[in-house]
Amino acid sequence: MRRNRNVKVVATLGPASSTREVIRDLFEAGADVFRLNMSHGTQDDIRERHRLIREIELELERPIAILADLQGPKLRCGTFANGRETLEIGARFRFDMDEAEGTTERVRLPHPEIFKALAPGATLLVNDGKMRFKVLECDGTSAETEVMVGGEISDRKGVNVPDVILPLAALSKKDLSDLEFACKLGIDWLALSFVQRAEDVEEARALVGDRALIISKIEKPAAVQNFESILAASDGIMVARGDLGVELPVESLPPIQKRLVRGCRAVGKPVIVATQMLESMITSPVPTRAEVSDVAQAIYEGADAVMLSGESAAGQYPVEAVRTMNNVAESVESDSIYRQVIEASRSAKHGSTSDAITAAAREVAETTDVRAIACFTHSGTTAQMVSRERPRVPILALTPILSTSRRLCLVWGLHCAKTDEVDRFKHAVILAARIARGAGFATEDDRIIVTAGVPFNVSGTTNILRIAPVREKAIFEGEPE
- The residue range of the domain holding 286 is 8-72+170-335
Whether residue 102 sits in one domain with residue 14: no
Nearest by Cα to 88 from 134, 151, 146: 151
Whether residue 361 sits in one domain with residue 474: yes
Is 92 one of the annotated active-site residues of the chain? Answer: no
Whether residue 294 sits in one domain with residue 177: yes
Q: How many CB atoms lie within 10 A of CB 278?
A: 28
Whether residue 89 sits in one domain with residue 21: no
Q: How far apart are CA 179 and CA 205, in angstroms?
A: 11
In this predicted model, what pLDDT tens digit does every residue of 404-439 receive, in sequence order?
Answer: 999 999 999 999 999 998 888 888 999 999 999 999
Domain boundary, last residue among 95, 128, 160? 160
Is 35 one of the annotated active-site residues of the chain? Answer: yes
| pLDDT band with cut points at 50, 70 and 90 for residue 481 | very low
CA of 479: how far to CAs of 44, 45, 427, 451, 462, in Å? Answer: 52, 52, 10, 14, 18
Alpha helices, DSSP H, located in 334-471: 336-344, 353-367, 381-388, 402-407, 425-438
pLDDT over 50 (residue 480) = no
In this predicted model, what pLDDT tens digit does every residue of 255-294 receive, in sequence order?
Answer: 999 999 999 999 999 999 999 999 999 999 999 999 999 9
Task: For residue 412, tell me if it sits in a domain.
Answer: yes
Across the chain, mean pLDDT equals 94
- Catalytic-labelled residue, pool 20, 76, 205, 392: 76
Domain boundary, last residue among 305, 335, 365? 335
- Catalytic-labelled residue, pool 12, 275, 451, 462: 275
Whether residue 292 sits in one domain with residue 178: yes
Work out the average pLDDT over 24-36.
98
Write down the pLDDT at residue 207.
98
The CATH number covering residue 102 comes to 2.40.33.10
In this predicted model, what pLDDT tens digit does every residue of 32-75 receive, in sequence order?
Answer: 999 999 998 899 999 999 999 999 999 999 999 999 999 998 89
Task: For residue 385, tell me if it sits in a domain.
Answer: yes
Max distance between CA atoms of the chain, in angstroms, equals 86
Work out the average pLDDT over 103-127.
94
Work out the average pLDDT over 3-7.
96
Q: How far apart are CA 384 and CA 146, in angstroms?
A: 50
Whether residue 329 sits in one domain with residue 194: yes
In this predicted model, what pLDDT tens digit does every residue of 372-400 receive, in sequence order?
Answer: 999 999 999 999 999 999 999 999 999 99
Task: Write the CB contacts of 177 (distance below 8 Å, at least 6 apart in sequence).
Answer: none
Task: For residue 460, tell me if it sits in a domain.
Answer: yes
The CATH number covering residue 253 comes to 3.20.20.60
Write down the pLDDT at residue 348.
67
Is 76 one of the annotated active-site residues of the chain? Answer: yes
Q: How far apart are CA 244 and CA 216, in angstroms?
A: 13
Write down the pLDDT at residue 159.
93
Domain count, the chain: 3
Q: Which amino acid is at 440?
A: G
Write down the pLDDT at residue 416.
96
DSSP per-residue codes, 316-335:
S-HHHHHHHHHHHHHHHHTS
pLDDT over 50 (residue 186) = yes
Whether residue 256 sits in one domain with residue 214: yes
Range scoring the smallest mean pLDDT among 318-332, 426-440, 464-478: 464-478
Whether residue 180 sits in one domain with residue 64: yes
More confident residue, 476 or 358: 358
Q: Tell how strand 65-69 and strand 189-192 pair up.
A: parallel
Write down the pLDDT at residue 274.
97
Whether residue 188 sits in one domain with residue 304: yes
- Catalytic-labelled residue, pool 5, 8, 24, 35: 35
pLDDT over 70 (residue 460) = no
Q: Which amino acid is at 169?
A: A
- Catalytic-labelled residue, pool 5, 8, 94, 217: 217
